Structure formats: structure tokens, C-alpha cells
Amino acid sequence: MNKIYLDNAATTPVKKEVLDAMLPYFMESFGNPSSVYQIAQINKKAVDEAREQVAKTLGANANEIFFTSGGSEADNWALKGIAEAYKDKGNHIITSKIEHHAILHTCEYLEKKGYEVTYLDVDEKGMITPEAVEAAIKENTILISIMYANNEIGTINPISEIGKIAKAHHIIFHTDAVQAMGQVRIDVKEQNIDLLSLSAHKINGPKGVGALYIRRGLKIANLIHGGGQERGRRAGTENVPGIVGLGKAIELAYEDFDAKIEKLTVLRDKLIDGLLEKIPYTRLNGHRIQRLANNVNVGVEFVEGESLLLLLDMNGVAASSGSACTSGSLDPSHVLLALGIPHEKAHGSIRFTLGGMNTEEEIDFVLEKMPSIVERMRSMSPLYEDFLNKNK
């Protein structure tokens, strides 16, 4: 049986070109970029080139890119580093209820340290409005952190508008763009973004490497203390192969961009429309249009998302019932709850996230299997039976 991977928001396979670019830096060119001899200078050059590749994609300068161990570290650094560096200016942070846990749990940590955090509500499509951001600004607000696109429901936020508001109020603006990378064109200068987090493994790069863009002129406290790497701001011998992989992955993520997005959108829409049409009592979670080209998230009533996943897995299909971090726990997704979806309905949601390798045949296969799987599950559900009896 062929395996069908539809969980690209959790992680993605490394592309062949990315791996090929990384391989020389494990055995042949293994030097420490901080060393002065020639064999290490190759490594320094490789890191500098990757920094250029990331900067170019974001419309930033190379000296504004700092490599990290991934998206979570970039998020932690942005929030803790700015909170600390600007604590004499204020202690209020604005974020949203649908952020990734790397943001939410960092905010909870900062609250314990005496910071005040406003968690903005979203509308029923998962959108954060610029008006809500502006209304939450106070005298002591130092930072706004709003994700570019949500990892569960794929909703894309009005980042340029929020950037304008932040700039007009002289407040620092961070965005977690981990999911938006490769699916949305980003220009940090044009969009007034002061800090931006990204991660390699969500864009066909290696796991354990990411970056934080920090606008020139911003103060930020260090998260990792030690040697003078990353211009004294992030210590630790550079993950040279990982950084090279990130540089290559980000470059490839924007190659043939329009054609790639078009292909994904067609497959996405086929899957959304097919599921809603073929399975009664289903709805789309998230925004229909302002949505990542690879994200499908549907609520299926009278079924348990986790059981649905297992049955799909038995058919060779890998999907998710929310974020990978929350699966395994019985709490419904905080994102779906923030949309106003009741607990029992939030449980019955399933997320398919497409990648460059997915084919129309695979989508057809899912559309063929899903209705019978759901029907079988519902036939065993007393809730569904009650519902049918009441509606006779």
C-alpha cells in the first residue's frame, strides 16, 4: 500500500537538492566557522551565503538574520529578548489566542515574571483584525506578536495592516511566519515587521534549524549566552549543515512560486469541496479565501478526530487532528476553541496539509475513503443515532 503524507504543517521531507547542499559540511568541510585557517573559512563562507539567501527572501539585510535551533527558539528569543530589553519602557505585550504554543507558553512564562499579556480573540474564521490590535494598545505596550498564518486552520492574518498600526504607535512588531514561509511572499521592510521567526523543517529543510530576523537598531537580550557567534547575539558553534540546508530550502521554496501555489490551491480546493459535498454534517474550519494554499481543516460531526486519524492511518493516509504538539492529549485544540467551536465539535476535526509531492490521485483516494470511514464511525455512535431519530 502506498503511503499518502498529508501532514506537511507538522513537518516536511528534506528535498534532494537540500540534502546534497548539506552533505559536504559533515565530513569534507567540517571546520568550525570561528577558526581562522583556510579549511574553516569555507564553513564561514557557507554560513554567510545561507544568511544572504534568507535575507534576500525576506527583503532584509544579511546582518539582520540570526540562526537559531528552530522556530520555537526564534519565538522564545523574540518575546523574552524584547520584553527584557525594553522593560523600562513598559511591560505589556499583545498577542492572540490562536498562536503556536512556542508563543503562548512563552507569554505565560512572561506573565509569571511580571509582564502583562493581552490575548486577542479571533473571529469565527480565525482572523485577527487590525482594529482589535489597535484597540488593545496601551501606554505601556512594548510588543505586538501576531502569527502570519495559523498552523492548524491555515488562516492568513492581515500582517501589513497590523505592521502599519504597530509602526504608527512606535511599538515593536513580531510575527511567527513559520507556516507562511514558502506560501506567502514576505517583505519585512514594506510590511513594517521588526522581528520574524522561521523554521527550516516546515519548508523541506532539516529539523533543528531556523532563524530570527531582527530589524537593525532594535535592542534584544540574548537567550543563549556563550561564545561570540552570530555577532555576539546567539552563542553556540553554528549548525553549518543545517544552516546551509535552511538557505537552500528557503531559496527553493520561492522558486516557481506562482505555479506551485496554483497547483496546491487546486488540490486543496478539490479536497475541501469534495469532503463537504460527499460527507453530510461537515464544515470547513478557518477562512475560505484568506487561507494557506496547502491547508484543509474540516469539522466532521459525530466522530472522534483521533479515531478518524487511526482509521485513515490504516488506509495509509497520514493526517492530523490539530497541532502535532497537542495530539496525544485529550484537550481539544485551543485554536478551534478560540473560533467558538464547542468542545465536542472541536474534537471531531481533522487537518490535511499538502506538500509539493502530493498528487491528484492521492486526493482522489482520500475522497474515496473518507465517506465510508466516517459512515462506519457514525454507525457506531449513539449520538448520531439519537440525532437521526430526532430529525426523522
Q: What's the closest the beta carbon of residue 6 comes to ligand PLP, in angstroms? A: 16
| Catalytic residue (choose from 40, 136, 221, 325) | 325
Among 36-44, 70-78, 278-286, 344-352, which window interacts with ligand PLP (CB under 6 A)? 70-78
The DSSP bridge pattern shows strands 282-284 and 295-300 to be: antiparallel
Q: Specify the residue, 71 or 355, whose C-beta has the smaller distance to ligand PLP.
A: 71
Q: Specify the residue, 151 or 295, whose C-beta has the smaller distance to ligand PLP.
A: 151
Q: Specify the residue, 152 or 362, whose C-beta has the smaller distance to ligand PLP.
A: 152
Residue number of the CB atom closest to ligand PLP: 71
Q: Which of residues 349-368 bind ligand PLP (CB under 6 A)?
A: none
Q: Which of residues 277-316 bind ligand PLP (CB under 6 A)?
A: none
Contact (CB, 8 A) for 300 and 308: yes
Q: Specify the residue, 146 or 178, whose C-beta has the smaller distance to ligand PLP.
A: 178
Q: Specify the residue, 176 or 301, whose C-beta has the smaller distance to ligand PLP.
A: 176
Q: What's the closest the beta carbon of residue 324 comes to ligand PLP, in angstroms? A: 8
Q: Specify the residue, 206 or 274, whose C-beta has the smaller distance to ligand PLP.
A: 206
Q: What's the closest the beta carbon of residue 178 comes to ligand PLP, in angstroms? A: 4
Q: What's the closest the beta carbon of residue 326 comes to ligand PLP, in angstroms? A: 12
Residue 31 near ligand PLP by CB under 6 A: no
107 is a catalytic site residue = no
Site map 199..228 versus ligand PLP, x via CB under 6 A: x-xx-------x------------------
Among 30-38, 65-73, 331-339, 371-379, which window interacts with ligand PLP (CB under 6 A)? 65-73
Site map 90..119 versus ligand PLP, x via CB under 6 A: ----------x-x-----------------
Residue 322 near ligand PLP by CB under 6 A: no
Q: What's the closest the beta carbon of residue 95 comes to ligand PLP, in angstroms? A: 12
Q: Specify the residue, 149 or 350, whose C-beta has the smaller distance to ligand PLP.
A: 149
Determine the longest span between alpha carbons in the chain, in angstroms: 81
Quick one: which of 155, 147, 200, 193 has its CA closest to 173? 193
Number of residues that bind ligand PLP (CB under 6 A): 15
Residue 72 near ligand PLP by CB under 6 A: yes
Contact (CB, 8 A) for 70 and 199: yes
SS (H, E, C) the chain: CCCEECECCCCCCCCHHHHHHHHHHCCCCCCCCCCCCHHHHHHHHHHHHHHHHHHHHHCCCHHHEEEECCHHHHHHHHHHHHHHHCCCCCCEEEEECCCCHHHHHHHHHHHHCCCEEEEECCCCCCCCCHHHHHHHCCCCEEEEECCCECCCCCEECCHHHHHHHHHHCCCEEEEECCCCCCCCCCCCCCCCCCEEEEEHHHCCCCCCCEEEEECCCCCCCCCCCCCCCHHHCCCCCCCHHHHHHHHHHHHHHCCCHHHHHHHHHHHHHHHHHHHHHHCCCEEECCCCCCECCCEEEEEECCCCHHHHHHHHHHCCEECECCCCCCCCCCCCCHHHHHCCCCHHHHHCEEEEECCCCCCHHHHHHHHHHHHHHHHHHHHCCHHHHHHHHHCC
Site map 154..183 versus ligand PLP, x via CB under 6 A: ----------------------x-xx----
The footprint of ligand PLP (CB under 6 A) covers 70-72, 75, 100, 102, 147, 151, 176, 178-179, 199, 201-202, 210
- Catalytic center residues: 325
